[in-house]
Chains A and B, each alone.
Chain A
Amino acid sequence: MEAILKNKFFVIGGGIVLIISLLVLFAPLLTSYDYGAVDLPNKQLPPGAEHIMGTDLYGRDVWCRIIYGGRVSLTVALGSTAVALVVGTMLGALSGYVRGTLDFVLDRVNDVLMAFPMLLFSLVIGVVLGSSMKNMFLSIGIPIIPMFYRIARATAMSVGGRSYVLAARAMGGGRMRVILRHIIPNVLPHTLVILSSAIGGAILAEASLGFLGFGIPQPTPSWGLIANDGKTYMFSHPWTTAFAGAFIALTILGFNLLGDGLRDWLDPKIRTAAKR
């Protein structure tokens, strides 16, 4: 555990993620504004004492909208990554262990999923399902399933060849038992390694969708939507979009660094190598 605190990526990434999470969590304490309150006389103000990040084109406080918007963006990112982690790991483990026809079919479906540009795919699902929080989980989560599926499948193939799996079968352990007790627990650490980067990817996907105008409808702010609000006057009044963009970029950076740090620490090869 001490070793991981020496990892710069982990510490910096973790720090960023922690700070942003705290801001978002304690949003009501950090602002006295209402994220939906329109105040047209004070629209598009630059940052100042009253509004530290200025106001948007309806006069809403940008700082307030960003920290509340983080709640939406992070929830969407966490929810969709959770969907992808669970589905991807289960299917990958099943595919890699059972092999045969099931694996052939799932792997082809996976190829098809991967052939779509992620964003386009999210858009299509989003349009088909309609926009709500739950549907965002799916429209962003489904395109990231392949990330988890591929790792889970490859790991399950190697775990499936280990003698302890053979031993469990020799004892009379059924397929489901082997998958639940041996395959998934041994596959999970490998898929968790990419969890953090996947969350970063989901934040980016949500932001892109929001910026394009798809996503959770107004007035609920999400970072992508806030950036979109400022889009029309981006050159004359860049504050709204710039601050939202900065938050998006910083958060993704945080999750990616955290992910890299975790990977260095968790990756069994690197770990055993370090032990020797």
Chain B
Amino acid sequence: MAEPFIRIENLTKRFSISAGKRIRKTGFTAVNNVSLNIERGEVFGLVGESGCGKSTLSLLVLRLLEANGGAVYHGDTNILELPRRKMRRIRRDMQIVFQDPYDSLDPRFTLERIMNEPLQIHRWGTGAEREARIDELFAAVSLDKQQLKRYPHQLSGGQRQRLCIARSLALSPGFLVCDEAVSALDVSIQAQILNLLLDLKDEFGLTYLFISHNLAVVKFVSDRIGVMYFGKIVELADTDELFDNVLHPYTAALLSAVPDPDPFSEKKRDILPSGVPSLIDPPGGCAFHPRCKYAGERCARESPELRDAGRGHLVACHRLEC
């Protein structure tokens, strides 16, 4: 395997909810001791229900939110320890595409200004060079440069997301986080954007952290997949291995929730009992035990460790440790 490009170690983020200054603080742990490696050139998919901490994780990895503990290595540097100036420089190499393209674009900026923003921040090139760069990026995402004088609200949803992608690539980053990057789009457009992302990956040699609640989407783009539940990675494996050999009951439940295209299929669904547990008052032991049909006495008591079950397939579940 190639050397890890992004290495996340024991990353933890707690949020405190304080009602007033003196009152006892309550809080919850949105990301709990997460470690994972992303190799250069791969697409690492991260899947989980909303509220599982995957978006928080994406903000932590880019240091748009300060972590409470752990480290994020970009190559050899732990970016969480970098002083502001050096952090700024490294941001050129780490970019993000958000879920809602409309919310990601300042409504008062023209497309031209939007595209120029990253270039100006990093004092990239001369005016003419910037113009040429923007042409190049627009061509790469198939946007029409006739539209440069327009405003984001004059574009379609798909075009807006193409614009966000073009902007994120302006400074030639090596690493791109796609946080639910297609979830806000029409299904027909989702496929276009996913294919575009995969094409761009080859064209520019990108590495992706691809986050989604949609297992089908993650399966389509990812080389490896991590399944996140309640702030922790509960299962992690190569895409094929994960789908051929599901080990964690939560992953199994997620999988069976993906609609089956064959209406006559006899496949049974594992319906998850509703109700993600309360974040503020989390269940002890394995966080999944109140919803797990295999839950035993040990599951309520102690939290399972993430272990290798062979072929690099990591899973955190007591059922598999016997």
* Chain A residues close to B by CB (< 8 Å): 162-164, 166-174, 177, 181-182, 185-186
Residues of chain A within 8 A of B98, CB atoms compared: 163, 166-167
Interface residues of B in 95-123 (CB under 8 A from A): 95-96, 98-100, 103-108, 117-118, 121-122
Give chain B's interface residue range (CB within 8 Å of chain A).
20 to 34
**A-side contacts of B64, CB under 8 Å:** 166, 169-170
Residues of B within 8 A of A (CB): 59, 62, 64, 87-89, 91-92, 94-96, 98-100, 103-108, 117-118, 121-122, 164, 167-168, 171
Complexed CA–CA distance, A168 and B92 (Å): 12
Residues in chain B near residue A168, CB distance under 8 A:
106, 117, 121
Q: Which 3 A-B pairs have the closest CB atoms?
A: A163-B104, A172-B91, A172-B88
Q: With A169-B64, A171-B91, A172-B88 known to touch, is A186 a contact of B117 (CB < 8 Å)?
A: no
29 contacts between A and B (CB under 8 A): A163-B100, A164-B103, A164-B104, A166-B59, A166-B64, A166-B104, A167-B96, A167-B104, A167-B168, A168-B117, A168-B121, A170-B62, A170-B91, A170-B94, A170-B95, A171-B118, A171-B121, A171-B122, A172-B88, A172-B89, A172-B92, A172-B118, A173-B121, A177-B121, A181-B117, A182-B106, A185-B106, A186-B106, A186-B107
User: How many pairs of residues, A versus B, come closer than 8 Å at their CB atoms?
Assistant: 58
Known: A171-B118, A172-B92. A185 touches B103 (CB 8 A): no
Residues on the A chain within 8 Å of B87, using CB: 172
C-alpha gap A11/B99 in the complex (Å): 42
The secondary-structure label for the interface of chain A is helix
CA distance A186 to B105 in the complex (A): 12
Least distance between B79 CB and chain A CB atoms (Å): 12
Q: Contacts of A181 on B, CB cut-off 8 Å?
A: 106, 117
Contacts of A167 in B (CB 8 A): 96, 98, 104, 164, 167-168
Contact A186 B108 (CB under 8 A): yes
Q: How far is the CA of A206 from the CA of B17 in the complex (A)?
A: 46
* Sample of 7 more A-B contacts, CB < 8 Å, known A170-B62, A182-B106: A163-B98, A164-B105, A164-B106, A166-B64, A167-B98, A171-B117, A171-B118
A16 CB, min distance to chain B CBs, angstroms:
31
A185 touches B91 (CB 8 A): no
User: Least Cβ distance of A164 to chain B in Å?
Assistant: 4
